[in-house]
Structures are given as C-alpha cells and as structure tokens.
C-alpha cells in the first residue's frame, strides 16, 4: 500500500512523523521504555497501539515489558495494577470515574514517567488513544493530570450489513463483515476497524442488518456461532462487545415451532436454550438488537402481545448472562393511508411506547430515533425522550447519510446532533436535555447511551467520501462526551486526518461546519422532509415516498403547504411534548421557522420571522444552496497540492456530483412550487415553468 493509499485508509490514525525537533525530544523521553501491567487482550492492544503510534510519530520504537519496572518511562495498566501513591500522586480520582474511566498523569519520579491507567483495562486502552491524540495534535505532555470517563455507558455502532455482502443504506462499498453468504476473510481490515472505533470510545457493535434476512436468521445457530465468536474475539481485544440483530420469528424460522408467541412456554424455553448456547461460544456476548412489528418485520403483535411482553421474553433469557435487549422504537404502520389527515406517522413511536413505561425489564433498552420520522435533514426531536422515566433509553442517530446526501453530498452531521442532544425536553423542568435523558442521569437509568447506524464499507477510505469520515469520528467523540463543542470536534478531526497547515485546517473546518445548512437549503424546506426518490432515497422527487400509493407527506396544494400537527385543528402531535415545547410548536407565532411546515399547513404568502414569504424562502434557499455548493467546490480546489492527490480527487469528484444534485433539487422544487402556487420568484430568476 503506497503512501497516498495509507493516508486514505488510516482515517484519523495517521500517526505522521513529527517534524518539530523539540517536541520529538520531549515525546521520546517518555517513549523509551513502556511497561504494561497485565497480559489481557485489551492491554496488549493498548501496548501495540502505543508502540505503533510512537514509532511512527517520533521514529523511536519503545521497548515493552510485561511487568512494571522502576525505569519505565510510560506505564499502561489499571488502578489495581499500579498505585498512584507509588508515584507521588496522593489524589485518587478513580472512585469518581465510571468503569471505562482513566487517568493520564505525568509523574516526576526518576526523571519523568507517564502513567496511563484505566479503572479497567478498557480504560487503559482509551488512555493510550487519548495520549496519541494529544501527540498527533502536537500538544505538550510534560504536565498532564487528566481524569476522564464517558457519560454514556452504551456507545454503539449498528451495522445494516447483509451476508450476501450488501449493506442496506450503505454508500461506501460492500460489507466489511460478510461476502457471498459467509463471513469475510479479511481479519486485518476488521482489526483496523476495531482500532478506529476504540480510538473514539465505541464499546458495542451489532454486525448484521436489523431487517434480518433468511440467511442472517441462522447467525444464532451452532453452524454460524463459531464464526461470530471469531469476530467477537477480535473486537473484544479492543473493548468492543458484539451484538446480533435477530428475527423475532426465529422459533418458527429455524426452531421448528409453530409459533413465536412470547408468552408461549415452548417459545420462552427455546429462546432460553438458544441464548445459553450463544454464551457458550461468546462469554461476553452483548445481547440482541430487535426491529419488530414495523415495515413488515415480525413481532409480538402477530400474537396479540405488546412490545413489553415481546422484549421481556428475550430479556428474561439474556438476564442470567448479563445480556441486553435493545428494542427499536421505529414502529409504525407503513400501509396506513397518508391522505387521511387523522393519521400521522410522527405520532407512532410515542403512541406505541409511552403507555408501556415501567413495563419493561431492567435489561431492556428502548432505542429511539432522534426524530419522530426517519433521519430527515430537519425534524423535531422525538417526544419519547423524557416521556418514559421508568424505561431505559438510547438515542439512535444515523451516520450513514440516507436522507442527507448518501456520502455523495457533503453533509457534516455533528452540528445537527449537537442541536438534538442540547434540546431541552422540560421533562423535569428546565435543563432536562436530551443528553441528560440518554446518559441516564435525569432518570437514573440502569442502561443508556447512544447508538448510530454505521457509514463504513469496503471502499479504500472506508466511507466513500473522504470527508464523511468526520461523521464517524464526530459521533464517537460526542458519544464519549456530548459536551464537546462542534469547533473542537471538527478541529481535531481535520488536524488528525490532514495535518496542521493552517489554510487546510481553516478551509476544511469551514466546509464541514456549514455543510448541513447548505444541504438543507437546496433540499426539503422548513422541516417538511422527504421529497426524495422512493427506494434508494437519493435526489429529488417532490411527491416521492416509499409507499407512494398513499401520496405525500407535505400536503402541498394550490393554497399552501405543510402538515397540520396541532391539537386545535390537526393530528394532535404537538401534545406529545412537555410544556412549554407543546405550546411553542402549537402556535404559528412561536413555532421555529425551520420546523414550520412540519407542524403547520400555511399559505404560500405566510411571512416567516425573517420577513420572507414561505414561497420566496423556498425559491431563495434553493438558489442559494446551489451557489453555496459552488463555493464548497471552489474552496476545496484552493487546497490542490496541499493534500495528496488521491484524497483531493476523491473529494473533488464528490463535490462535482453534489453540484449537479443541488441544481436538480433547485429546479425540481422551485418548479413544483411555482406550479402549485402560481406565485413567481420576485427576483425573476429562471424557474422551469
């Protein structure tokens, strides 16, 4: 693999040689002799990563000892293997840290030693990655006193990979896990993926699609469990637990039973035996991820049972082994008639799950999508956050850009995720943010955190679009610490990935930070959502929807556009929020403009808070969006020669495709609404009439 290919493949673990002699001297003073406090697979991974990073950055390969020696210059271990007091450190932060927490401490014993100590061996691995990140960022390490741990105990990646090698909603090539109906043979790539995930603190992964196919259903059988165990062994060494998505009808599909009724004793016994067998192969198996009773997937509804009864049956089977059930709340009737305005998909998750609060076992977690619809470029936060104080929750985000450009168009999602996490639900008064719900602190959940749909595939650069790597990195950093500022996450990723040239850092950071709003400008306006081609979901189709026989979501007619979700005259969705959010969304005067058409059907002449009419806003933003994409392309071209040719051309080609896409969106959306409204663009720009 030549140098340019390595840079594309390495993502943010570049470990480029440092050309600052004084920094190299200081780093090298700590990188001479590494001592490891134990021989667990995770500690060995930590030591290997430390050696890899230091050798590459400072040109000195440390010697490594598997026991603590007084002449060690860097020590990797756990709090039980190394005493802080032995190194003159009297303050002990470990009692205040979560299980994955760690300490990075510079001690001046014997000329200087760096202590990288975890509360567990996983924490020690995170400490190593933290130190290597500081070195890549060219930060001083002589006076470090860091004590850190994640607020979220679940930090998960969901793969939608199929065993034929395809990836549902995957935009970066074939699956890294599967090919031709079996597990892929490239374990080196899987290990490099585990390294990437562990470097940003990911601790759980589900490896197969939530829409479990016929072949994938057999992953929990003895025929396939040895292969699952092989993958679990690899990820375990990087502190990552394996989960499997399951078919709820497995007792029928592979068990020979006539029913999958969760209250049937034979079904319960079948799952208990199946789970016990899984743990014989994978002692630290994480548990099951389940999509049930939605989009034609089987579930407890078939037998007249509810979600709690369905999930608890699996929870009881997993509980003796410490396993979890992660039950997705993406549940709605995809065959309902969208022309009937008394039905509202946005209401579905809350209506299904809110009445069941307190009915789920303590090892069941509800996985709630960030919004009530489906990963749109703009939609409100799901009202389920804060509405179930007695039920564990994780938030589900989507790193792969299904409705946000599919990694052809640049759309950096960290700003969107920050808005969502910072949103105040008012569930227990002011300050009841989404991040405080999903980190478990607001309601003292036993299990909580964040999950996201992966955006990686077998493309050389993992994500198809080189800049889409920033979404994977950004998700991991926010899952670890949701308080991180957008600017800091962005600056880290750019410097780790492309180096420290100020013009490169400034230009790419600006492109990333602005890209979400740019994408929103030329696609669906004012929170109306969708308007994409059915099936593959890329490109404009104003009346497009997966189940298009029932019409559209936006209800545009000659008089106006938008969905009335008010209590007074619409679907009543606004009532699912706590006060004052419910009142804010209910009122035309206080509803935020960016969500206006999600909550209200308004005339085209309705004036926004900016003073623009709705129709003129649609025209203006779609023309502006194209101009902004042109500026993205020109800004990137200024970096030619400052970035290796492989990555430069990859991004340049994607920006060219994005510009064509933006023009198509502009022309179709503006033409559609001109024809609907009959109101011309007041600036007299070309609209295809």
Does 173 lie in the same domain as 130?
no
Q: Which residue's structure tokens are 């299980």?
A: 99
For residue 240, being part of any structural domain is answered with yes
Q: What is the DSSP string of 514-530?
A: HHHHHHHHHSS-TT---
Q: Residue 29 is part of a domain; what is its CATH number?
A: 3.30.379.10
Q: Residue 318 is part of a domain; what is its CATH number?
A: 3.20.20.80
Q: What SS3 state is found at 228?
A: helix
Q: How far apart are CA 689 and CA 399, in angstroms?
A: 37
Q: How far apart are CA 63 and CA 31, in angstroms?
A: 8
Does 276 lie in the same domain as 248?
yes
Token representation of residue 435: 């991040």
Does 90 lie in the same domain as 202?
no
Q: Write b or e for each residue in 196-216: b if 16 or more Cβ atoms lie within 10 A of its Cβ, otherwise e.
A: bbbbbbbbbbbbbbbbbeeeb
Is there a contact between 472 and 399 (Cβ–Cβ < 8 Å)? yes
Does 111 lie in the same domain as 47?
yes
Does 639 lie in the same domain as 617?
yes
**Other C-beta atoms lying within 10 Å of the C-beta of residue 610:** 10
Does 139 lie in the same domain as 273?
no
- Domain boundary residue, one of 91, 117, 148: 148
580 preceded by cis ω (within 30°)? yes
Q: What is the pLDDT of residues 468-514, one digit of tens each?
A: 999 999 999 999 999 999 999 999 999 999 999 999 999 999 999 99
Q: State residue 661 phi and psi, 5-degree precision.
A: -65, -45
DSSP state of 540: B
pLDDT value for 550: 42
DSSP state of 68: -
Does 482 lie in the same domain as 347?
yes
Q: What is the pLDDT of residues 636-679, one digit of tens each?
A: 999 999 999 999 999 999 999 999 999 999 999 999 999 999 99
Is there a contact between 168 and 210 (Cβ–Cβ < 8 Å)? no
pLDDT value for 263: 98
For residue 340, being part of any structural domain is answered with yes
- Domain boundary residue, one of 498, 513, 542: 498
Does 43 lie in the same domain as 160?
no
User: Residue 131, Cα to own-chain centre: how many angstroms?
Assistant: 24
pLDDT value for 549: 39
Q: Taking 80 as the threshold, does the pLDDT of residue 451 lie above it?
A: yes
For residue 467, being part of any structural domain is answered with yes
Residue from 128, 132, 204 nearest 492 by CA = 132
Tell me which residue range forms the domain holding 63: 3-148
- The residue-averaged pLDDT of 400-421 equals 98
For residue 503, being part of any structural domain is answered with no
How far lies 200's CA from each of 144, 397, 473, 655, 683, in Å?
A: 20, 16, 7, 27, 48
Does 208 lie in the same domain as 139?
no
Give percent of the chain with pLDDT exceeding 90: 91
Is there a contact between 409 and 511 (Cβ–Cβ < 8 Å)? no
Q: What is the pLDDT of residues 33-43, one digit of tens each?
A: 999 999 999 99
* Number of domains observed in the structure of the chain: 3
Overall residue count recorded for the chain in this entry: 689
Q: How far apart are CA 478 and CA 474, in angstroms?
A: 6
For 255, counting Cβ atoms within 10 Å of its Cβ (0-12 exposed, 13-18 middle, 19+ buried), the class is: middle
Q: What is the DSSP string of 110-148?
A: GG-EEEEEESSHHHHHHHHHHHHHHHHTT---TT-EEEE
Q: What is the pLDDT of residues 80-114, one digit of tens each?
A: 999 999 998 989 999 999 999 999 999 987 668 99
Q: How confident is the model at residue 341 (pLDDT cuts 50, 70, 90)?
A: low
For residue 670, being part of any structural domain is answered with yes
Q: What is the pLDDT of residues 583-623, one digit of tens each?
A: 999 999 999 999 999 999 999 999 999 999 999 999 999 99
The torsion angle over the Cα atoms of residues 132, 138, 144 and 146, rounded to 10 degrees, is -60
Q: Residue 654 is part of a domain; what is its CATH number?
A: 3.90.1330.10
**Residues noted as catalytic:** 295, 374, 402
Does 142 lie in the same domain as 18?
yes
pLDDT value for 551: 46
DSSP state of 533: -
How far lies 466's CA from each of 7, 175, 235, 617, in Å?
A: 10, 18, 24, 32
pLDDT value for 332: 74
- DSSP lists the bridge partners of residue 204 as 156, 241
For residue 569, being part of any structural domain is answered with no
Q: Mean pLDDT score of the chain, rounded to an integer?
A: 95
For residue 504, being part of any structural domain is answered with no
Q: Taking 60 as the threshold, does the pLDDT of residue 534 lie above it?
A: yes
Does 163 lie in the same domain as 121?
no
Q: What SS3 state is found at 7?
A: helix
pLDDT value for 687: 77
- Domain boundary residue, one of 117, 148, 179: 148
Furthest-apart CA atoms within the chain: distance in Å: 82
Q: What is the pLDDT of residues 216-266, one digit of tens each?
A: 999 999 999 999 999 999 999 999 999 999 999 999 999 999 999 999 999
Q: What is the pLDDT of residues 2-60, one digit of tens each?
A: 777 899 999 999 999 999 999 999 999 999 999 999 999 999 999 999 999 999 999 98
Q: What is the pLDDT of residues 107-131, one digit of tens each?
A: 987 668 999 999 999 999 999 999 9
Does 178 lie in the same domain as 130?
no
Q: How confident is the model at residue 366 (pLDDT cuts 50, 70, 90)?
A: very high
For residue 515, being part of any structural domain is answered with no
pLDDT value for 337: 47
Q: What is the pLDDT of residues 453-474, one digit of tens each?
A: 999 999 999 999 999 999 999 9
């Amino acid at each position: 693999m030549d140098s340019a290919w390595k840079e594309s493949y390495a993502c943010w673990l570049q470990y480029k040689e440092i050309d600052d002699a004084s920094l190299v001297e200081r780093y090298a003073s700590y990188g001479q002799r590494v001592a490891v406090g134990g021989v667990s697979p995770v500690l060995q991974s930590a030591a290997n990563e430390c050696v890899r990073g230091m050798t590459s950055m400072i040109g000195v390969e440390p010697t490594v000892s598997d026991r603590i020696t007084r002449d060690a210059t860097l020590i990797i271990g756990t709090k039980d293997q190394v005493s802080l007091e032995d190194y003159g450190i009297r303050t002990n932060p470990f009692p205040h840290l979560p299980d994955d927490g760690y300490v990075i401490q510079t001690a001046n014993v014997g000329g200087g030693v760096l202590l990288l100590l975890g509360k567990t061996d996983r924490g020690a691995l995170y400490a190593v990655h933290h130190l290597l990140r500081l070195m890549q960022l060219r930060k001083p390490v002589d006076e470090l006193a860091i004590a850190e741990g994640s607020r979220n105990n679940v930090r998960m990646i969901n793969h939608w990979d199929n065993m034929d090698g395809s990836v549902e909603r995957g935009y970066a090539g074939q699956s890294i896990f599967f090919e031709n109906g079996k597990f892929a043979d490239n374990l080196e790539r899987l290990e490099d993926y585990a390294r990437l995930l562990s470097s940003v603190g990911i601790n759980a992964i589900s490896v197969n699609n939530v829409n479990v196919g016929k072949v994938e259903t057999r992953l929990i059988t003895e025929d396939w469990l040895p292969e699952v165990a092989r993958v679990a062994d690899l990820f375990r060494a990087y502190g990552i637990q394996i989960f499997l998505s399951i078919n709820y009808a497995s007792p029928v599909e592979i068990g020979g039973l006539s029913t999958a009724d969760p209250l049937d004793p034979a079904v319960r016994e079948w799952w208990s035996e199946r789970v016990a067998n899984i743990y014989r192969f994978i002692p630290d198996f994480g548990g099951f991820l389940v999509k049930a009773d939605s989009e034609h997937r089987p579930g407890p509804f078939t037998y007249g049972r509810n979600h709690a009864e369905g999930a608890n049956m699996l929870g009881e089977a997993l509980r003796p082994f410490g396993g979890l059930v992660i039950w997705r709340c993406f549940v709605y009737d995809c065959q309902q008639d969208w022309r009937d305005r008394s039905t509202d998909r946005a209401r579905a998750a809350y209506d299904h799950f809110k009445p069941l609060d307190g009915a789920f076992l303590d090892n069941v977690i509800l996985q709630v999508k960030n919004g009530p619809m489906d990963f749109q470029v703009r939609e409100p936060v799901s009202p389920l956050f804060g509405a179930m104080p007695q039920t564990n929750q994780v938030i589900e985000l989507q790193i792969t850009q299904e409705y946000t450009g599919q990694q052809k168009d640049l759309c950096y999602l960290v700003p969107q995720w920050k808005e969502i996490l910072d949103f105040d639900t008012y569930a227990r008064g002011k300050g009841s943010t989404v991040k405080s719900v999903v980190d478990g602190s607001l309601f003292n959940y036993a299990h909580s955190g964040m999950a996201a749909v992966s955006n990686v595939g077998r493309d050389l650069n993992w994500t198809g679009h080189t800049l889409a790597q920033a979404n994977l990195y950004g998700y991991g950093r926010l899952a670890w610490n949701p308080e991180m500022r957008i600017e800091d996450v962005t600056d880290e990723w750019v410097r780790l990935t492309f180096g420290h040239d100020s013009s490169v850092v400034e230009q790419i950071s600006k492109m990333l930070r602005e890209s979400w709003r740019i994408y929103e400008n030329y696609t669906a306006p004012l929170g109306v959502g969708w308007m994409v081609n059915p099936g593959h979901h890329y490109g404009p189709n104003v009346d497009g929807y997966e189940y298009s026989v029932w019409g559209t979501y936006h209800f545009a007619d000659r008089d106006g556009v938008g969905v009335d979700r008010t209590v007074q005259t619409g679907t009543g969705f606004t009532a699912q929020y706590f006060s004052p959010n419910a009142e804010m969304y209910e009122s035309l005067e206080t509803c935020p403009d960016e969500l206006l058409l999600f909550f209200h059907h308004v005339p085209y002449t309705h004036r926004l808070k900016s003073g623009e009419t709705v129709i003129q806003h649609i025209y203006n933003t779609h023309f502006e969006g194209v101009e902004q994409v042109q500026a993205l392309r020109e800004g990137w071209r200024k970096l030619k020669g400052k970035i290796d040719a492989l990555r430069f051309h990859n991004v340049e080609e994607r920006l060219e495709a994005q510009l064509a896409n933006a023009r198509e969106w502009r022309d179709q959306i503006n033409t559609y609404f001109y024809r609907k409204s009959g109101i011309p663009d007041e600036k007299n720009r070309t609209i295809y009439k």
